[in-house]
Structure 1
Amino acid sequence: MKNKTMNNFKLTIVFLALSLSFTSIAQNTELYSYSFGEGYNFENANGSTIKLQGYIQPSFESKSFTNETTETANRFRMRRLRLRLSGNSANQRFSYRFQVDLAGANEVDTEDNNYLLDAFVSYAITNRIKATFGQRATFTDNRELFMNSNALQLVERSRLTSAFASIREFGLFLEGRFRTGGGSQLKSYFVLTNGDGANVFAGDRGGLKVGGRLDFLPFGLFTNFGQFRQADVVRERAPKLVVGVHLSQNNGMSSRRGRASGSIVYLNANDEESLPDYTKYGIDFLFKYRGFSAIGEYISSRASVPGDITQRVRNNGTTSTTFLVNGAQDIENYVRGRMMLGEAYNIQMGYLFRNGFSIDGRYTHLIGDEHSFLNNATFYNRPNYYTIGVSKYLSRSYGAKIQASYTHVDGKLGINDLQGNAIMGNENLVRIMLTLAF
């Protein structure tokens, strides 16, 4: 009941903030342009600008197993219903973004009522260096998290993203963009956050998370923000490529991957919090040319477990000194077994025909450490994901499209069904989704 009341309170605040924002737009600005799928642009007499965007994604998903005794699970729902308000000050130095998802599901398909997505203010220190403070998608995740959800090639993001991404964080974000000769560009990013994920109402746990990313674009910038969109809707006339590396260190993490603060807590003999550190690094690329697009990602994670842990906090708040691994007390490997440790790579590509049809494919491979939550049979322990998809773009933009995909999941390592029962067989996913943006 307490969680439901808090969620209703947060939703009320969201609607109130949106109402006040829209009232401000109506009173102080005028509409000067609109592009289907790209949003409404407003301008004030003093030169400040406001942009209003949004999209809706109703979807259907069917999950089945090759074990004939396991029932098929079907689900109809609103996958995303997002509204974004952004803008710039009159001198263009200050900018902001406020984005909510009224469907209440996060980016990796867990229904957690996280309505608030983005809430930040940016300041352009120079024409090429920008500082941002607030909550936003972090630059130390894999490249797919750079992509807007309404611009994905396939119905859902890859399993690499759901396994390792922290998605959104609160803190300081620095961006730099520099010309490096011959039309090439170098983009640098620095991140300093609380490391606890998005929208943390409880006290921060552990230390800070620090990280960075370097992106190199040898052929210059993509057309129409194409670096942040998957399918090549604009059909790049010249090859476009970005290659990047990223690294982050989360000092004292109280969750599996830095996404849900306080979900996993350990104590020392003095009843003080003692939390593991989490290191993540990776390399990725995006390529586009004349309707063809390809994305490649590799990511790896490691953990450092403190030697003074003596207790763990249960979900009900009580503590336990039991850390059993294979029937024996093993504190370090018990802690590792609750974290997302290992590596993964994801490769996907597709071609968008001139008639608006797109054919896409993806292969994702996960490799869990010996002691890792990636070996959990109910949610993971599936090393290979094979996905094919077809999309129909109903306009020459990302404004409207219909997508369908089929994913075959390899269950050879031993998996559980939706009720936690061990089964012999593989998993199959069929997804259909409509996207309509304004």
Structure 2
Amino acid sequence: MLLLMSTAAVKAQEVTAPKFGKGLLNIVGQDSTWSMNFSARVQLLSGSTWFIEDDNFEYDRTNTLIRRSRLKFKGHLFNPKVTYKMEFGLSNRDMGGASAFTNNAPRFIMDAVLKWNFYENFELWAGQTKLPGNIERVISSGDLQLVDRSVVNSRFNIDRDMGVQLRHHITLGNSFLIREKIALSQGEGRNVTTGNLGGHQYTGRLEVLPFGKFANKGDYRGAALDRQETPKLMVAATYDMNKDAVRTRSNMGSYMETDYGFHQTDINTFFADMMFKYKGFSFMGEYAKRTADDPVATNLDGTATGDVVWVGDGLNLMSGYLFKNNYEVTGRYSNVTLDESITGIGEENQYTLGLSKYFVGHKLKLQTDVTLLDFDASPDRLQWRLQLDFHF
């Protein structure tokens, strides 16, 4: 029976195996009305941390884990102008965050989005996916230039959410490219099942590429692997308002529960970022700022619950050079200054030096970095990490 079913399946569609890094399987329907590319990727991470007190290094811990393990599906439905993407996280880090707000279930689904190019340069997205936020967050975790994203991203990014997005682009003259992206989303993050407890989230992003498109979408990939033959630049800005937000980091963080329900406040996040690449050189810069109308959650009697919105600003600067043997040296400086009177955290600095070897681009790479973490509110730390990344 299994053999008969397999034979029937082969007759019903065309199945091919792509080359390494392009997916595990390509399936095309017999009438070409649908397709599916199936791929998988894994990141194996090991790291050690030391506390620095009075110029002494005190060993803290070593941790080795599966940082990410993902299954990805993409293709088209009905016609090539209707595409989809699904991504599922299998590692404990991917699925972490189960709570009453996710029906006490692991957060397995990363992306489940349908995209419709309904008219000329207009595209409508619907489902759960990344919002058009800061560039470091939108770059896939599999295409990063260092082992992981910066502290600026972890404090301020707007991540994934359920909703709709409208995207458009226009080219002026021969190459001057402008891209506009707007989104309306639920405002409480991914895999939420309890409905909308606050207001809604509104996001707008404008990108300007004065020298035209980056080769191979290099503006949204870390490192200069595409070795742009001419200078390429993207400058962009994002404004995000989460109306009546109920979580401490816009659509992320803790829910601000009180004795009367949920504390609600408008949270505004602004990003300005850029990406520049030319041959083996790359530079990325980001600025982030978050404000809130009423950042401190209180009970009816005015006592603070302990939940506060992480308000403040951050700066992230990263540059790297890729040598002809596909080794890359990267440096990054990140600064976050939270409002200490509200958060009790204050200023944080990260100084990172990284080394990467790209065997098959981002699809097979080995990366290591060393970071000095400088904190106002706690002892400084030194962190070393080593990561192997492979994609089928």
Q: Same fold (TM over 0.5)?
A: yes
**Preserved contact between residue 189 and residue 212 of structure 1 (Cα < 8 Å):** yes
Say which of 35, 38, 48 aligns to 1:49. Answer: 35
Identity of aligned residues (%): 28
The match for 1:16 is none
Say which of 298, 304, 310 aligns to 2:293. Answer: 304
The match for 2:52 is 66
Show structure 2 runs of 5+ residues with no match. Answer: 1-5, 99-105
- Whichever residue aligns with residue 399 of structure 1, its letter is K
**Preserved contact between residue 43 and residue 389 of structure 2 (Cα < 8 Å):** yes
Matched, 1:105 2:93: yes
Show the 5 A alignment for 1:254-293: 254-260=246-252, 263-266=255-258, 271=260, 273-293=262-282
**Preserved contact between residue 50 and residue 57 of structure 2 (Cα < 8 Å):** no
Q: Distance in 2 between matches of 1:383 and 1:80?
A: 26
The match for 1:315 is none
Per the TM alignment, residue 97 of structure 1 is displaced from its structure 2 partner at its CA by 1.0
The match for 2:353 is 388
Q: Distance in 1 between matches of 2:325 and 2:154?
A: 32
Matched, 1:436 2:364: no
Give the 3-state SS of the residue equivalent to 1:34 in structure 2. coil
Give the 3-state SS of the residue equivalent to 1:245 in structure 2. strand
Matched, 1:348 2:337: no
Spell out, residue by residue over 1:126-146, the C-alpha distance to the aligned partner (whole angstroms, 9 max, x if none). 13111111100110x211112
Give the 3-state SS of the residue equivalent to 1:203 in structure 2. coil
Show the 5 A alignment for 1:204-215: 204-215=196-207
Matched, 1:202 2:202: no
Q: Assess, with a 3 A threshold, how the Cα gap between structure 1 residues 299 and 23 changes in structure 2: closer, same or farther.
A: farther
Show structure 1 runs of 5+ residues with no match. Answer: 1-21, 313-319, 325-333, 416-424
Per the TM alignment, residue 352 of structure 1 is displaced from its structure 2 partner at its CA by 1.1
TM-score normalised over the length of structure 2: 0.89
Give the 3-state SS of the residue equivalent to 1:105 in structure 2. helix
Q: Distance in 1 between matches of 2:170 and 2:241?
A: 25
Q: Assess, with a 3 A threshold, how the Cα gap between structure 1 residues 28 and 61 changes in structure 2: closer, same or farther.
A: farther
- Whichever residue aligns with residue 170 of structure 2, its letter is F
Q: Assess, with a 3 A threshold, how the Cα gap between structure 1 residues 23 and 197 changes in structure 2: closer, same or farther.
A: farther
Q: Which one has a larger percent strand, Structure 1 or Structure 2?
A: 2
The match for 1:317 is none
**Preserved contact between residue 387 and residue 406 of structure 1 (Cα < 8 Å):** yes
Spell out, residue by residue over 1:346-397, the C-alpha distance to the aligned partner (whole angstroms, 9 max, x if none). 0001011111101001000111124343x33xxxx452100000011112x2
The match for 1:368 is 338
Per the TM alignment, residue 27 of structure 1 is displaced from its structure 2 partner at its CA by 7.2
Give the 3-state SS of the residue equivalent to 2:137 in structure 1. helix
The match for 1:96 is 84
The match for 2:119 is 126
Q: Distance in 2 between matches of 1:264 and 1:362?
A: 33
Per the TM alignment, residue 306 of structure 1 is displaced from its structure 2 partner at its CA by 9.0
TM-score normalised over the length of structure 1: 0.80
**Preserved contact between residue 237 and residue 290 of structure 1 (Cα < 8 Å):** yes
The match for 2:15 is 31
- Whichever residue aligns with residue 164 of structure 2, its letter is L
- Whichever residue aligns with residue 267 of structure 2, its letter is Y
Q: Assess, with a 3 A threshold, how the Cα gap between structure 1 residues 24 and 354 changes in structure 2: closer, same or farther.
A: farther
- Whichever residue aligns with residue 390 of structure 1, its letter is L
**Preserved contact between residue 382 and residue 409 of structure 1 (Cα < 8 Å):** no
Q: Distance in 1 between matches of 2:320 and 2:365?
A: 15
The match for 2:309 is 339
Q: Distance in 1 between matches of 2:7 and 2:363?
A: 25
Coordinate RMSD, CA, aligned:
2.6
**Preserved contact between residue 152 and residue 230 of structure 1 (Cα < 8 Å):** yes
Q: Distance in 2 between matches of 1:24 and 1:311?
A: 63
Q: Distance in 1 between matches of 2:322 and 2:37?
A: 28
The match for 1:84 is 72
Q: Distance in 2 between matches of 1:193 and 1:23?
A: 44
**Preserved contact between residue 246 and residue 262 of structure 2 (Cα < 8 Å):** no
Stretch deviating more after TM superposition (90-99 or 188-197): 90-99
